[in-house]
Structure 1
């Protein structure tokens, strides 16, 4: 029995490997992008939280100042 592969089978195997490698790469890139988008969203959310806390602190400080008698 002849165990050699035909040219058609060699081409099929080559195409199969190329498609598999391409799919793997697309999956890796998609995962990287998904993680980056999540990290950016979390960073922006953290900034927004900080801004709300700063605004509230400034509002309380201003209100505290307004409640103090004017000693000038």
Structure 2
């Protein structure tokens, strides 16, 4: 027959193991969420940088065209 002390020890041990397992799972969930959020923020910033660079290239590209006989021809800059 198991004594009261040993039963209490077993109960505390099981509770501690269970708590550690759940805390570990929660930590993995949080770490994964932080990683995913960080990745999305990085992608958003990258998209913003690419849009800004495309806008700058479009501003520098100030060629003008005029229609001659239904076709586009580049006009020399004035």
Which interval holds the TM-score relative to the shorter structure? 0.7 to 0.9
Q: Which has the higher contact order (CA 8 A, sep 6+)?
A: 2
Higher-helix-fraction structure = 1
Q: Which runs of 5+ in 1 are unaligned?
A: none
Aligned partners of 1:46 and 1:52: how far apart in 2?
10
Based on CA coordinates, which of the two structures has the bigger radius of gyration?
Answer: 2
Identify the residue that residue 67 of structure 2 maps to in structure 1: none
Total equivalences in the alignment: 66
How far apart are 1:27 and its partner, in Å? 0.4
Q: What is the RMSD computed on CA atoms of the aligned residues?
A: 1.3
Q: Are positions 1:45 and 2:42 aligned together?
A: yes
Please identify runs of 4+ aligned residues in structure 1 that moved more than 6 A: none
Higher-strand-fraction structure = 2
